[in-house]
Chains A and B, each alone.
Chain A
C-alpha cells in the first residue's frame, strides 16, 4: 500500500531563513506527488505537483520541490521564508486506484517568526 511520511510535525524558522520540509513516500506504481498548503481555518490549496518530466517543480510563491526516485523523496524547500508562509503543509501521493484518491502525510506545521 502507498504511504507518505512527513518526518517533522513542526518546523519553526525565522523570517528570511531557508526552510526544507521533508516528505518520503512508498509506492509500487507510477508516482504522482503533491504539496498542499492549509492556512489557518481554510481549506487546502495546491502548492505544486510532480506528474512527470523535470524532477524539480516550482510554485508561484517561491517554493520548490524535487522528486528523487532513488530516495523516494519529494522535499519542499524555500530559500527565504516570510511570515505569511506560516501554515500547515501536506505532502500527498495519488493512489494508484481507479479514482485517484490522495494519500496524505500527517502534515508539517511551518511557523515563521519575526
Chain B
C-alpha cells in the first residue's frame, strides 16, 4: 500500500489557470506538509498543517492555499498560475508526538506554459 500518494504525477497547464494537487496519507499521521523543489533541486517548505494549526511559509504567495478536508488529506490549490510556479511539489507527513521523520509522496511535476 502506498503510504503517501499524490495526484496527478504530471500537470501541464497554461498561465493564469487554477489547479489543484491532491495528497493522501494512510499512515495515521497527524501532520502534513507541502514542499516545493525547484529546477536546482532545492527543497523548501511551503506549508505545514495539523488538526490544530496551519503554518505558512511567509515567502509563499497567497495564490497558494492548502485545503484539508480531513486528517488524511492535504490538497494544494494554486490560483492564477505563473511561469515561476513550475517545479516539483512534494507532499509529506509525520507523526509529531511519536517520531520525527517525514514520509514523502512521489511528487507532482507542474509545468506552466
User: Are A and B interaction partners?
Assistant: yes
A: residues with CB less than 8 A from B are 32, 34, 36, 38, 42-46, 49, 51, 88, 90, 94-95, 97-104, 106-107, 109
Contact B31 A99 (CB under 8 A): yes
How many Å from the CB of B100 to the closest CB on chain A?
Answer: 5
Contact A100 B41 (CB under 8 A): no
B111 at interface, CB cutoff 8 A = no
Q: Which candidate, B14-22, B62-70, B71-79, B101-109, is the interface stretch facing chain A?
A: B101-109
How many Å from the CB of A91 to the closest CB on chain B?
Answer: 11
Within 8 Å by CB of A97, from B4, B55, B92, B105, lies: B55
Contact B102 A102 (CB under 8 A): yes
Contact B101 A34 (CB under 8 A): yes
A43-B90, A101-B48 given; A94·B100 CB < 8 A = yes
Q: Which A residues are CB-close (under 8 A) to B107?
A: 42-43
Q: Which A residues are CB-close (under 8 A) to B40?
A: 106
Q: Which B residues are CB-close (under 8 A) to A51?
A: 100
Q: Which B residues are CB-close (under 8 A) to A36?
A: 104
Contact A101 B33 (CB under 8 A): yes
Q: Which B residues are CB-close (under 8 A) to A90?
A: 43
When chains A and B are docked, how far (Å) is the Cα of A38 from the Cα of B42? Answer: 12
How many Å from the CB of B109 to the closest CB on chain A?
Answer: 9
Q: Can you report 23 A-B residue pairs in the complex whose CB atoms are below 8 A from each other?
A: A36-B104, A38-B41, A42-B106, A42-B107, A43-B106, A43-B107, A44-B104, A46-B103, A49-B101, A51-B100, A97-B55, A99-B48, A99-B49, A99-B50, A99-B53, A99-B96, A100-B48, A102-B45, A104-B42, A106-B42, A107-B41, A107-B42, A109-B41
